Amino acid sequence: MGKWRLSRVVIQILRSREDVINILVRRLSDKETKTRQITSWPVWTKEVSEFDCYYDSIEDCFLLEGEVEVTASDGKVTPITAGDYVTFPQGLSCRWKVISPVRKHYRFR
């Protein structure tokens, strides 16, 4: 089973467990980045700030610049830095703390 397919299975398993929704952070190879056509996705930028966020759909993103700490409603803190590929699951409530300005490619599915 490919890494991406396995990740989707993990998300489904985690979402089926009561109150467990995890943010998945990983590094992609250059080949994976090209295969997913990440550079064709829109770009989002954000200055140093803090804000609440709710994901009503799955978001995949690739951080080009910046540093963020995302705190889920259960208190778990997920650090994200430039070069990380991140999947935010549907149903996630969290607080973003942008430590240094962010620029990222993103897509919702």
pTM for this prediction: 0.80
How is residue 93 written in tokens? 């409530």
pLDDT of residue 21: 79
Average pLDDT taken over every residue of the chain: 88
- Please give the angle made by the CA atoms of 102, 107 and 109, to the nearest 5 degrees: 145
Whose CA is closest to 96, among 57, 61, 46, 58? 46
For the stretch 41-90, pLDDT in tens is 999 999 999 999 999 999 999 999 999 999 999 999 999 999 999 999 99
Would you place residue 9 in the very low, low, confident or very high pLDDT band (cuts 50, 70, 90)? Answer: very low
For 57-79, give the DSSP string.
S-EEEEEEEEEEEEEETTS-EEE
pLDDT of residue 19: 53
DSSP state letter for 18 = T
How many C-beta atoms surround the C-beta of residue 101 within 10 A?
A: 13
Considering Cα of 34, then 36, then 42, then 45, what sign does the dihedral take? negative
Position 15 pLDDT exceeds 60: no
